[in-house]
Amino acid sequence: MSEATMNEDSGLLDGEVVRELADIPAVEVISRAAVMLMSSAAEKLGLGDEDPANSPHLDLDEARRVITALAGLVTASVEYLGPHAGPIREGLQSLQRAFRESSAYPDAPGAGPGEKYTGPVY
């Protein structure tokens, strides 16, 4: 077998098996998107660092945007998530609480990131 080379057009290794999106169930696509948004929000809240308040990745404006996008995705797709809905909603609420704790001037209940979709998170 020859050494794998990068395909310039796709960025994939020649011969690499790629799972077609058409073959992936919708719940898996939605769940993966939610997990990616959760990870991004956690990083932007500095939660990956020992001291989140002094994290070089801390960016509350960006975190607000990602959390709001996550809330919209979860709210719009909750009926399709089945057993995945509970853990994803809990993760979203944890991020919303972490955002509030990170803010020097916390938003009023119901005005935090994504709360127009989820309702107030205390």
What is the tens place of the pLDDT at every residue in 49-81? 999 989 999 999 999 999 999 999 999 999 999
3-class DSSP state of 64: helix
What is the tens place of the pLDDT at every residue in 21-43? 788 999 999 999 999 999 999 99
Cα(73)–Cα(82) distance, rounded to whole angstroms? Answer: 14
Cα(70)–Cα(35) distance, rounded to whole angstroms? Answer: 9
Cα(8)–Cα(121) distance, rounded to whole angstroms? Answer: 46
The angle that helices 26-44 and 60-81 make with each other, rounded to 10 degrees, is: 160
Structure tokens at 105: 């001037």
